[in-house]
Chains A and B, each alone.
Chain A
């Protein structure tokens, strides 16, 4: 193992130049294919919870023949325990706008939209001021690209890319059937790239430092670094940029308070990692893919309360469109309550587990599919706490 203290990385929040958009200016002089190759070489994968290769997404959208294309920045950061996109937009918004512009330039889109979650409405004015300066820059450089802010109205499932598109079009944020994927048929049926805030900012970082430099960080499967939102029983809550490939053990050693018994990685839709698995659990696309939420729990915390809160959250945020998720989220919640009260036998949790696994295979989108992650990982590692 390396030294206890993690290497300090400042790719996202560092190097915020006062002379605006100089990196973008250089990017716009390069050939789109060259930019996409650079991103593909860098191995950058989406910084949300899914991890699709960013360069490939842009390449697919570029390949589509359409007079109208869109670039959408997903700023509906609603995963519990995540707050890094908010900080990026507040502290280094130009990196995000530059990343979106680079994407627009590569795929041939003239319009970008930032889907800003309602809860971040307080920063709309600040972001609009940045956008005004940005539009002045693109005008001067004869680059035909503009960005609008679209305010969300409060919905977790809007973070799913096709649900987000439905929301912009003015409908309930219910996920679409895939395929077709948004890169082929997205907003108003046009090819659309939807990337998370951090993904655009990281793409911009790569275009500044080059793929080679970026590859020096991380592992073969998970290149680079990413931001982690750390909260719960920690001595240093906040946003920390860490190299991918780091183990939970290393993170707990640096940030955890005393007697950490588990870490919830990836928010409500993520996994509970118990202490005995800290050393062998690697954060990255070969291990735990995560949007960056990390909540530490010490010995005094009830994992029943944690699981109960997550299930309540899912039951509330399920869009209600597909049956496995709509009914499943409610039944899991009622189920663990009934077992806790002793109204159902202990063996009933096996039925609930089956239900959770069914939801994983039969739900329409990531929301219903991921309920099994916290449910099974918390249940299996803290069975006594859940049952009695």
Chain B
């Protein structure tokens, strides 16, 4: 927690408390902590002289600013129609089976979270998924599981 506090302080010291810095700051915290906890949102609000509800309201609007705990690696499987047409469902069940979690859940070791998201923009190479910021395309169930195995080693 102390680390997050100093991250917020450092960011504000460098960039100031202008409202336009709110989203970049929240992005930076998510990058490091994988999600925005209640305490973090309150800290951000106090440092930026905003109400906590204002900060929560802004953060919770966006898909990639998670306000619930996430694993170290967030797997986001694209669910756009083009991906669905290329057997996205099989990838989903393979990942779910391998990680022993359902969509929206996090593994007990807090390493992986499995989510389905709207169009990632790789329809011509579907199905696609993102793990944190890295993109993987033209997946098969085997390929997807293999990628997760490699992440497990990391």
Contact = CB atoms under 8 A, between A and B. Distances in A.
B119 interface: yes
Given A154-B64, A231-B126, A171 B58 contact: yes
B121 A122 contact: no
B20 A169 contact: yes
Contact of B81 (A80, A151, A173): A80
Contact of B121 (A86, A172, A232): A86
Contact of B20 (A81, A170, A231, A306): A170
Given A80-B82, A153-B62, A309-B81, 9 more contacts: A80-B118, A80-B123, A83-B121, A83-B122, A83-B123, A170-B20, A229-B123, A237-B125, A238-B124
Contacts of B21: 170
Contacts of B23: 151, 153, 167, 170
A196 to B, nearest CB: 14
Contact of A153 (B63, B117, B118, B135): B63
A230 B134 contact: no
B122 to A, nearest CB: 6
Contacts of B133: 121-122
Contact of A155 (B62, B81, B135): B62
A317 interface: yes
Task: Bin the interface of chain A by size.
Answer: 35 or more
B118 A317 contact: yes
Contact of B64 (A82, A150, A153, A237): A153
B96 to A, nearest CB: 19
A355 B76 CA distance: 33
Interface string A76-96: 011111110010000000000
12 contacts: A78-B119, A80-B82, A81-B80, A82-B121, A119-B120, A151-B27, A152-B62, A154-B64, A155-B62, A170-B18, A231-B123, A231-B124
A371 interface: no
A241 interface: no
A305 interface: yes
Contacts of A153: 23, 26-27, 62-65
Nearest first, the 5 A-B pairs at minimum CB distance are: A154-B63, A153-B62, A154-B64, A231-B123, A237-B124
Interface in A292-320: 295, 301, 305-306, 309-310, 313, 316-317, 319
B154 interface: no
Interface string A54-83: 000000000000000000000001111111
The winner among B22, B64, B126 for most chain A CB atoms within 10 A is B64
A243 interface: no
Contacts of B130: 119
B124 A239 contact: yes
The winner among B20, B117, B119, B133 for most chain A CB atoms within 10 A is B119
A105 interface: no
Contacts of A117: 121
A153 B117 CA distance: 13
B84 interface: yes
Contacts of A122: 133-135
A230 to B, nearest CB: 7
The winner among A83, A238, A310 for most chain B CB atoms within 10 A is A83
A265 B126 CA distance: 18
A80 B135 CA distance: 17
Contacts of B147: none
A156 interface: yes
Interface in A254-305: 264, 267, 295, 301, 305
B76 to A, nearest CB: 8
